[in-house]
Amino acid sequence: MKAVLQRVLEASVTVDGKIVGAITEPGLLVYLGVTHTDGPDEVAWTARKIWELRLLRDERSASEVDAPVLVVSQFTLYGDARKGRRPTWQAAAPGPVSEPAYDAVCAELERLGARVSRGVFGADMRVASVNDGPVTLLLER
């Protein structure tokens, strides 16, 4: 499982001209990618890291300041562009595997106490954000 975490002042996801998920205060925008071997251990580890990692101002975590989290599915995190001019997506899990894992990470974040907004799995999304810092970090398990 891979996640790109961005500290943001605000962020939103739009599908078909409608905002489907948004945070309007400082928090985290998370792009989440799932590979074939990800299971419950990766889900739990990733959610806990997102929630407890001290990325916000004054070295605070989202859990410490009750910051919102916007999670967007992102299979392209598993793209491989080492050869040729066209990336391959072989390491990305297919929808029947990755969608439940994505949902599980969101559910685990909520169980931990996070206010979670979501994109729409598999949709053509427009993501807007105001990166704070800028701070962007790659998590990989």
Q: Could you list the active site residues?
A: 74-76
| Dist. CA 140–CA 138, nearest whole Å | 6
E strands present in the chain: 2-15, 18-23, 27-33, 69-73, 116-118, 126-140
What b/e string do you get for 91-130 counting C-beta neighbours within 10 Å, with b at 16 or more?
bbbeeebbebbbebbbebbeebebebbbbbbeeebeeebe
